[in-house]
Amino acid sequence: MTVFELVESDGDKTGILVDTAKALQSWEEATYFNGNNYISKATGDQWLHETLYKSAKGRYYIVHSSQWQGSRDHAEEIPPRDAAAWLLQNEHELPEDLASFEGDVIE
Residue by residue, pLDDT tens for the chain (107 residues) are 699 989 887 888 889 999 999 999 999 999 999 999 999 999 999 999 999 999 999 999 999 999 888 888 999 999 999 999 999 999 999 999 999 999 999 88
Task: Read off the pTM.
Answer: 0.91
Answer whether residue 40 is part of any domain: yes
Can you give the residue range of the structural domain that contains 15?
A: 3-100
Q: Specify the pairing of strand 31-33 against strand 3-7.
A: unpaired
107 within some domain: no
**Are the C-beta atoms of 5 and 13 separated by less than 8 Å?**
yes
State pLDDT tens for residues 20-29: 999 999 999 9
Q: Is residue 106 part of a domain?
A: no
Residue 96: strand, helix, or coil: helix
Contact predicate 88/64, CB 8 Å = no
How far apart (Å, rounded) are the C-alpha atoms in residues 35 and 15? 42
Beta bridge partners of 26: 53
Residue 41 placed within a domain = yes
In a domain, 22, yes or no: yes
Domain total of the chain: 1
